[in-house]
Structure formats: C-alpha cells, structure tokens
Amino acid sequence: MSEIASKAGGGVASTSADNLDAVPHSRRDYTFWALLFVFFGMQVPVSYFITGGSITAGLTLGTAFTTTVIGSLVGFIILGLVGVIGWQTGTSTMVNTRPAFGRFGSALPAIIAFVELTGWDSVHVQLAGQLMGNIGKQWGLDYTKLFSIAVGVCIVALVVFGHKLLRRLERLLVPVVVVLVGMALWAVLSGQNIGQLWHTAGKGNLTVMLAFDAMFISALTWVPMVSDYTRYAKTRSSSFSASVLSLPVALFMLFVGQTAAVGLGNPNALLAMVHHGTIFGVVAFFVAMFATIATAALIMYSASMSLLNVMPNVPIRRINLVTGAIVLVASVTINLLTNVIGWLSFQGILLIPLFAIVVTDFYVVRGRHYDVAELFRTKGRYWGTKGFHITGLVAWVVGAVAYEVVHNALPALGGGVISFLVSGVVYWVLASLFHAERQGSAGSGREDSPSTASGSSARTGELA
C-alpha cells in the first residue's frame, strides 16, 4: 500500500500515517489495476485449501465447486457493493457503519471486525508455520512455531514500516503465488482421472446449503476490509469491478484445496508437491510463506483500521503493533485450524446481518449517498440517540438470531441467505418508521463530488 496523501484542512492522511479522515477524490491514486492486485492479494491464502476442501465432506468435487462458485459470487457482489460505499465517502469500512449504527454504536461492528480479522490473521500465520514445518521436516527443519513467528514478524514489519514496499510486493507476489499454486494443482492431479474425480465425493455428510453458507460466509470475511482500500480508488467502477473480479483467483485457490481433499484425502495441496522431489518441496515451502505474507499483511492493516474507529486518537502505528502482537501470540497458542466450518459459522452469525444492514442502509434507506462531513460531526445526521441507532442494533440481533434458529432447527436451509434477508428487511422497516423525520430535518445538501469534505468538517478531531 503506497502512501496516498489526502489534504484535509491542512492535515495529511495517508496509508502510512493512516487516520479516519475522508480522502478527497482529487487525492486518490489507486487505479483499477492497483486496486485489483490488492484484492488479488486477499485471495491467495493457503487457508483457502482447507476452506475449500472442508465442503467436499459428503459432496462430489463437481457439486462442491459449483456450490463454491455460486456462494462466492453472491458474497463477492456484496463485497463490491460495500466497496462502492468506500469510494463514495472516501472513508474506511467501519466509519461507513456509523449511519446505520450511530457514532458510538459503530464501535461494536468495529470490535467484531477486529476480532474476526485478527482471528483470520492468526489462522493464516499458524497455518503457514504448520505447512512450512511439515515441508521442512524432510530437511530437519521441523520448527512449526518458529516459522509462524518468523512469518508473523515479517507481516508486522511490512504493515508498520513498509506500506510502499507492500503495495509493490502485491504485484510481484500474487502472480508468483498463482503460478506456484498451479504447480501444486499439477502435483495433485498427477496420476488422477479428472473426469472420475469430478464425480467423487469426500467423506462426510455436508449438505449443499451448508456448503453454500460456508462459501458465502468465506467471501464475506473480506467485506470488513474492502472500503479500507476502495476509499483510494479513482473511479466508482473500479471500486466495484476490482472487488468482484478478484473472484477467479479465490475460486482457483479453493478448487485446488477441493481437488486435493477428494483426490488425496487431504486438502493440503502443498504436501503433494513434497512427493515430487526437492525442487517441488522448496516451491511449496515458499508458497506457504509468500501467500501468507501477501494476504495477512492486508488483513492486519484492516484489523488496525477497524480498531482505529474505536480509538481514533491512538496512532495507527501503535495499533498495528498491538494487532501484530495479538496475531503472533494467538498463532502459537490457539488452534483455530481444527474446525473451519465452526469458525465460519461464528462469523456468519455476526457478519451476514451486519453487512445486510450496511448495504440496505446505503442503497435503500439513504439513496446511495452519505454526507461525508456528517459521518464525523458530533450530534449530526448520523449521530443517533446518544451516539446509537437502536434500529441498526435491533436488526443486527434479529438477523443473528434468525441465522442461529435456521442453522440449528432447519440445517438443510443453511441460514446465511435467510439471515441476510431478515436483517435487511427488519432494518428497512425500522429505519422507515424511525429515521425519516430525523433525516428530513438534519441537513439536506448533497455533495458535488464523491468526497468533497475537507477542512475541519471531515476531521476526526471534531469527534466528541
């Protein structure tokens, strides 16, 4: 992520001295290709092997992959829609939850996002260490936790000190990782009959709807991050298309894990490479390292940006260090790899209704426009009652309950889509009843450009 200056009332906001200020449209320099490679970087984690492979438990490879395409596509469209919100306001994902939840109410989504993102970062760093240790065992380098710590330290260093370098590395790392993972797919398919494999099922009893839920939620795990990057996009179209067009890379990574799970009984495609000689083993080792760095650094940055919404006066570098410390400790002490479906369900309970409300608020209730200055103004249009919008919080709880009820009482239906629809409809009804008068009386001007707020009106320093 290169430094992107944003003048706001004489101050300077950038991705290396990040704050919550709105980035004026004239100061944005993420082209379509720059943004596309950032989102590509999110979609190359080796954890996708396990995530993809987990839904072959009871489903044929063909059914699992078809379900993956449909579930992920729905999730990535939501990703793109939230990305457009970031472009319109020039602010982070969590700042954009303020109209639905209130200034102080938005702290809860931010904390949830921080937990979710640091949790996924810990998964990625832990998995990288485990893979590197298993691969290195043949050379007497079975240092799983040490490898996790080394990868984690590299990620923290890049996020804290190397944003320019990190952005450049995304363009280099992503193509390299994709090519090397292609070698892993070749290793998995070597000696296999792809036609027969396509109709072979893994062991387990997963239903199609549960598999759809898993892939839908897996796609939504990136939504808390999207506006953190699209706020720097030059155009509206790139903020949406770059988000959605990263889907093929995700599908490729997921398919490799699914193929390995069905063909080898183990979704870890990198281990298959070890059996093809030392060169392939070395490649697998560096895939685990490079893929994790490419993805986890982006996640760590967004985790810190989420927490910044709760503590806007704390320097981002300090938050990055805290985030990095949590990820490092969790990656070597907590085992999050044993129940991927359970971890995704936990996120589904919280993320699905959350972003159903955000999308409904922006596209239905607010007419696809947020007043940027009001996002930061004390007791302004989006302030709520004492800083809270009860409507958003109630709809969130209702959506979470709907997910739990359907997921447990009617597991064949999954729960994700129903939770999304329920929370969105409930929020729309409540907002129509209770927000209309407040919206009509609180400021009426629309901005001439996507993010014209500047000077003191868009400064976080105005927050109470």
Tell me the three-class secondary structure of 279-339, residue by residue: HHHHHHHHHHHHHHHHHHHHHHHHHHHHHHCCCCCCCHHHHHHHHHHHHHHHHHHCCCCCC
Beta bridge partner(s), residue 57: 202
Q: Which residues of the chain have pLDDT under 70?
A: 1-18, 161-169, 337-345, 435-464
pTM for the whole structure: 0.86
Q: What is the pLDDT of residue 112?
A: 92
Give the whole-angstrom CA distance, residue 380 versus residue 198: 56
CATH number for position 48:
1.10.4160.10
- Domain range for 83 is 25-440
CB of 69 within 8 A of CB of 219?
A: no
Give the whole-angstrom CA distance, residue 113 versus residue 30: 24
CB of 211 within 8 A of CB of 341?
A: no
**What is the enclosing helix (H) or strand (E) of 12?**
strand 11-13
Q: What is the pLDDT of residue 453?
A: 42
Task: Establish if 309 belongs to a structural domain.
Answer: yes
Task: Establish if 175 belongs to a structural domain.
Answer: yes
Q: What is the pLDDT of residue 167?
A: 64
Query: Which residue in the block uniquely carries the two structure tokens 């990055």?
Result: 320
Give the whole-angstrom CA distance, residue 362 versus residue 223: 15
Pairing outcome for strands 6-8 and 11-13: antiparallel
CB of 69 within 8 A of CB of 282?
A: no
Q: DSSP character for 140?
A: T
Q: What is the DSSP string of 202-223?
A: BSS---HHHHHHHHHHHHHTTH
Distances (CA, A) of 240 to 57, 231, 245, 277, 417: 33, 11, 9, 42, 21
Task: Establish if 463 belongs to a structural domain.
Answer: no
3-class SS of residue 129:
helix
Tell me the two tokens of residue 16.
Answer: 């290396």
Beta bridge partner(s), residue 12: 7
Task: Establish if 459 belongs to a structural domain.
Answer: no
Q: What is the pLDDT of residue 101?
A: 96
Task: Establish if 296 belongs to a structural domain.
Answer: yes
Task: Establish if 380 belongs to a structural domain.
Answer: yes
Tell me the two tokens of residue 90.
Answer: 């020039």
> How many structural domains are present in the chain?
1
Task: Establish if 29 belongs to a structural domain.
Answer: yes
Q: Who's near 408: CB < 8 A, 6+ residues apart? A: none
Q: What is the pLDDT of residue 442?
A: 41
pLDDT tens digits for 255-284? 999 999 998 888 888 877 877 777 888 888
CB of 86 within 8 A of CB of 230?
A: yes
Tell me the two tokens of residue 302.
Answer: 């967004």
Task: Establish if 203 belongs to a structural domain.
Answer: yes
